[in-house]
Structure 1
Amino acid sequence: MTAPGRRSSTFTRLLRHGFTDPAAAERLLDSPELAAVRDDPVLLEALGATADPDLALLGLVRLLEAQPAPTARRELLDTVIAAKPLRDRLLGVLGASAALGDHLARHPSDWHALVMYEPRDLHPGVEEFERGLADATDPVSLRVAYRRCLLSIAARDVCGTTDIAETAAELADLATATLRAALAIARAAAPEDAALCRLAVIAMGKCGGHELNYVSDVDVIFVGEAVEGADETKALRAATRLASHMMRVCSETTVEGSIWPVDANLRPEGRNGPLVRTLSSHLAYYQRWAKTWEFQALLKAQPVAGDIELGEAYVAALEPLVWKAAERDNFVPDVQKMRRRVVENIPVAEIERELKLGPGGLRDVEFAVQLLQLVHGRSDVSLRSGTTLNALQALATGGYVGRSDAVQLDDAYRFLRSMEHRIQLYRLRRTHLVPEDEADQRRLGRSLGLRTEPVSALNREWKRHAGVVRRLHEKLFYRPLLDAVAQLATGEVRLSPEAARERLVALGYADPAAALRHLEALASGVTRKAAIQRTLLPVLLGWFADSADPDAGLLNFRKVSDALGKTPWYLRLLRDEGAAAENLARVLSAGRLAPDLLMRAPEAVALLGDGDGDGLAPRGRAALEQEILAGVRRADGAAQAVTAARGVRRRELFRTAAADIVASYGTEAQPVEADQGALVDLVGGAVSDLTAATLAGTLRAVVRDGWGDTLPTRFAIIGMGRFGGHELGYGSDADVLFVHEPCEGVDEREAADAAGKVVSEMRRLLQISSADPPLLIDADLRPEGKSGPLVRTLKSYEAYYRRWSLVWEAQALLRAEPVAGDEELGRRFVELIDPLRYPAAGLGEDAVREIRRLKARMESERLPRGTDPKLHTKLGPGGLSDVEWTVQLLQMRHGARVEGLRTTRTRAALAAARTAGLLSEGDTAILDEAWVLATRVRNAVMLVRGRAGDTFPSGARELGAVGRYLGYGPGHVGDMLDDYRRSGRRARAVVDELFYGG
């Protein structure tokens, strides 16, 4: 036993040397295996220098215990004490890797692999590793030999003899040697298969890029050919058997564990495609079917095993296709979309700890570097490296990335890769998650040289480097564009104009020369405005590139900046408000309507800021009417009053369009999660309220100009159609009826003249030509249509509806709702028409047949010639007319007894019919989905083209913009049209059953 005083002294020393469990360490030091060196300061110092002194000491005792004889134990202990290189290597490995400590305990003589410390041992290549695996003749012995080689790599790594790039290269070389050994085992097991075929193993991913992890899937592709005179089919079968056996040799778990999985899913058609293909079959696939990401993956393709000549032929044949990938449509959006998909698939609970795939992780650096390689490597062969750090250095040398940016990214990448390596080394498990346990973080921090407060230092350094990487998209891809045009005296190597044009084309800009002119105008000079815009533009360019029309986005930004650039709050808003710049980019590149509105009122940019989150929330009718009526009171005459009302309408239309676009596109901070029906309701309600407020203001202006404050007749405006249903789109006309009632003591002719003049003047003022979107009021749904008077008294309406009303007029009144003017008169009009539109006896069969006949006639007469009816949002199958007429038939049949059906709103009536049991849940959902989708398409067409339309645009860019608004990414326009047709078919089947009676 140790004396108490001595124990206390050792205990303190152990704490000072970094042991966290000094009591357990003392017991191990007192073990018979270490008795001879119990007080040797050299051992304690060496243990204290490791990542985990407790783990290193335990591993050393286990290794000593496992030695087969006392002489072997003495040899090991003497060598450890006397030879510093071995001591540092062995204890360094034991303190960093519990898994390699277990290996040494199982194979106690393997410590001899760490003895050599000569120049030729510093950086072994494939041949040296092949010699280390030469005696392996089966999967078990191959695993033992592999771990023995891994010991030497880990020792050089933890001792700092190699840096992270050299370690990753050694791991890739060891993987290459292992694949060759595994293939040799497979060939020896089936010599008849080996005689039939040539088989090349192409390394992909990190193995092909010469930058492998300690534990990683090794991605491969197999190429096979028949030997001369052999049948090709039989040869491919033989090659497939060899490839499968080779994969099993590496992947299967044995008593010695596994090495790593061999993954062949990067092959053409993935796991659904044949494991082995001929070179010509590979080439045909990549020429016809391959996606952008498959060419990106081929950047790292490298022949490593089997028939190297065949492998080199494979790489040579596909290389030209790789360097044409950037010319493909939607190249950059495809790559960006793939990166986003990777992030979206990370479990929420893990995203903050994801070292590889999370934001600011390793994959961010790799994706950006590969993107730049594919863009600029077409003309610059110096960029064609499969190794990330080599490619980054080449990009900096060529001026495609700023030198300081490249240095920061290099540092960040090396630190993050070192973290990843040390995390995996501990248990030799495939993981990229930073551990949560404090002891694990302490060991990780110490392994990286962070000895003072290792946990806090580790997290601080990790977050710092991740922050650098998070900005890589701006730093690596967009900022050099500004350096090319802004004449900046930064001392950096500048991107050439030709390279800048290449990059803009890859981003999707159709006119790179014009884009460069816009960038030069925005970013050149020494003004505060230019300095702030140089900061903003790299990010904005990325958001523009994410749209269907980047050119329009950049042009519109220049126009807005020219208009507001000298306004202090404008650039401050974009720089300081988190969402303002991104919202502006989305709005400016989403189509014509919103930018056109903004150009006429640039100060509306202020609505796009974060603020309290309500900047883009549409204002209610009461607030709108109050503001417009206040403007009318201040105006000098009716024309000026209507101009003021139009100004409010313009701003509020922009607010609604911007809210719709931002919710539809989503932002980086908040991806698209909006309910499509809720967006339709938002737009319909906002535009309808705005139209009602505008009409109320126009009515007040006309009355004030002509009669002061008292009109000789009470006057009300009744909204009809989509207006009455709160379902107006951006380009909808406002269907209305005008009703009046003479004031007490006023002659009916005088009252009628006054009401007629009000209507005429309102229509004239609203139709005055201006740059604002027109507000057309349509009174054609009035009694007798265009032949009847524009305005009637309430009694006249009553008489007409009692004697002459047709079934279609009763149907049209289902949408009637007072929107402006005398509220009491409007209420009485509703009381008048309720029995007509919700008949107590329901509808007779004659009336039902008439409604069906009218609908069929409308479809045959009004569908434009040459239009694909399946894509017509109003009259096509499952379109607005189908759903609305079906709902309205239910309202007229059952509205008298079902209170919920007495609504002017289509979706509310649908829900009420479902609640009343008139529609099944499934049919309700189908009709609602079709109606919402058709409405969204109409809104999209107006936003994109700046003019109304009932069908999809034919131009590729406009069609792509509609798709983007509806949530379809680049290259998925066909999916959008297919989904629309499918929705229409399903809805039409329901309509056939419910409206036409099956």
Structure 2
Amino acid sequence: MSTPPLDALTDSHWHDWLTWAETQGLSPPADPAFATMRQRVWEASEYVAITAARHPAEFAELLASGDLAHTYAPGDLAQRLAARLADVTDEATLHTALRRFRRREMLRIIWRDLAHLAPLDETLEDLSELADVCIRGALDQLYPWACAEFGTPHDTSGRPLQLLVLAMGKLGARELNLSSDIDLILAYAQPGTLDGGRRALTYEQFFVRLGQRLVQALANQTVDGFVFRVDTRLRPFGEVGPLAMSFQAMEDYYQSQAREWERYAMIKARPVAGDPDDIDQLMTMLRPFVYRRYLDFGAFESLRELKRLIAKELYRRGMDANIKLGPGGIREIEFIGQAFQLVRGGRDPALQVRPIRAVLALLAQRDLMPAEAVAQLDAAYVFLRLVENRLQAYRDQQTHRLPDDGPGQLRLARAMGYADWAAFAVDLDAHRRRVQEQFDAVFALPTTETEVEDAPLSAVWQGDRDPAHELDLLARAGFTDSEQVRTRVQQFRDACVRKGLSTRGHERLSLIMPHVLCVAAGCAHPDLALERVLRVMEAIVRRSAYLAMLAEHPLILTHLIQLSSLSPWFADQIGRHPLLLDELLDPRRLYAPLRRESLEAELDALLVPVTADDLEQQMERLHQFAQGNQLRVAAADLTATISLMVVSDYLTEIAEVAVRRVFALSHAHLMARHGQPTDSSGADSGFLVLGYGKLGGIELGYGSDLDLVFLHGSDTVTAMTDGAKAISNEQFYARLGQRMIHMMTTRTPSGQLYEVDMRLRPDGAKGLLVRSLKSFAHYQADNAWTWEHQALVRARPVAGDPQLAAQFAEIRRAILCCERDPAHLKREVREMRHKMRTTLDQSSAERFDLKQGAGGIADIEFMVQYAVLRWAAQHPVLTDWTDNVRLLDTLARLDLLPGQCAQDLTDAYKSLRAAYHRSALRAQPKSVAAAELRPERERVRALWQELMDD
């Protein structure tokens, strides 16, 4: 049974249409479902009721076409408008055609929304598409008319320049509501002067006039109404700025004069008209303005302040019932999404999307917000946007205010599917309350901001109390040398003043520094911890984004101080590369280093936004990847979350993933320029990267360099690549190797990826950078020294062609399995070790060199290498591994070493390696006090004498 109508007037409008239909021999569908939908739509939208009565033929056509019941296919609207505009000859007829087209489509969209035939996403998409096609349709007519009148603007290459239209706000995100204005910014690629018309015009004058005509075509009120209200005040300089600006003028503005809120607005900027090349150029220029490459926690502070201003304005106007701007409204949901986008979008390009529901989904996927909270926000957004559309559908007016009269409340409730206002209000209030709770949680003031006045050590930072009182506070807090600590804090505070820190910077330090003092005081060595973290603070104090991050997330400070107290290396890394502070944000990630598959995925995400020809950014992202992951390994290592043997595994995998990506990027670059080498063996690239030393042995430490050897599969001297700019295979592979070394070793603002040592290649530093696999095999068989075969024990492929890798494995096995004279082999290994110790051992009476000292790591490595070369001919399984621990385990299983020799060497090796890692993290020489590890060292020396000196 149908519900009695609320308004007899709107019902009379239906009778008006029926009367007209009868005269035309028409009748509405007899389907009862249609009658129910019609009554619901007429009750909820006076606009539809009146429009159908005034333009009955349009509604009749909608009924006859079946469009009310169907979803449009992509491109339908554009085709329909093109047909409407086919006979347009001037601006007057253009205005009329656009308005009548809009009126028909609005009837359809509102009907489908109110009749519950279209979900919210379809309604928003249809409205946005309607605006897009109207903008483009109008411009397609206006631009040639303007060119005919004034002349056509061209760029320096002679290409005609077009007006570029950026949609902002809800249209930019394709989330337009039923009676929204559209926010537009107009631009053009290059300045210039037109001289083909009746009088000379600058390009700015041309495009401003074109823009004015576009705005008039869309927004002017005529007897047929309007198409869309247009707001152009989001453009640079607002209302006082030119309506259209050149890209260069826009870039200058956004780099030097744009305000913070303009960054938020630009999140949703979407080109809807313009030349594709111009669009790419403009969006590439704007992206760094919106998305910073660091985690920009200043966004929380700014959005928090913007929300305060909005709330203050609403309170002044008494507009708490505003579902867009009021408490728990649509804007708060958008602010939550925008905050995470601005903070993380530069590091995570996936967040650089416009629709808020897509952003919310990503927040859940990336665990940036609890899935339940995101689900609540998404449900609230859908509910509130439906309410917004139902409010605006009533009279096609841009309103967000809930009705306060009984009939209006009942009308809205029934349009939303509720029997009465009370039932509707319960759900509305619940959604708004949940939004408010999530908003307050996301934008809550950092803990230190509310506690700083009560923090005892804040007086030490402020330095405005009696020195004796400050010294007493420091002593009671746990600092050893209170006077030295007070002096150091004062020096840092004075340095901040000299550096001209902003007022906001000083405010942030007032939040941060008492917390720094408090956490440092709780460390095992508080004075040392404070000194180390102050060095980090000195490196970042002028960079407001990092101060904002620390102020917003005191937990980052806690991790920084505690880990720095354990390792000066950790503090030095952060000080040199403050971008690494980002890694301290999430303890789950900080103390859980990634394995190979996850490392690959993270590096993929970092490199996605970088173009193939942007070598500098490729290197920056690779550095960021390696440094961040090495920092996580160190954090887990320092807190004993992972064991020694796993530390090297993690560090080696980071290096392998980085080397493989450097190879892939370098190879792709050369392939694009020169094509693929021909007549080269291998499954794809014909190039192989070998890891020697610690990389080959899966034993990398902090700061280890990479021992690499490059091989290729081409044996024909005359073979060439197959590209347009063909070069010889030899040249191709040499350039490939050179580019890889350049990418890994060149220092950029973020440092260096890795030190690379190529001296283990055939003929050492005098040899070719890249050798063919066949010549490598000949060299190893005929010319290599014993120490080069020792090095081969630890060699393995780390990147490149899998077929060449298999061929190398066969060559390596064959070389290592050669029969050798044991006495001759032992003498050569022993002599080489003696030479190394003589030239490299840094041991003294007070310190023991962990690697080169007698009884150190190198002695163990040489004994293992000797054993492999000595017995591999009889036991080829010894060639299966490249790392010392598994090789010693294999030697033990084969019973090739006497007694507990293998186990003793393994235990000593692990102890020495652990000390080696600790020394690196303490930023100390790789040595220990002469008394440390003495039993392990003595056992290694004894085994050396037993195995190598007889």
TM-score (norm 1): 0.44
The structure number with the bigger radius of gyration is 1
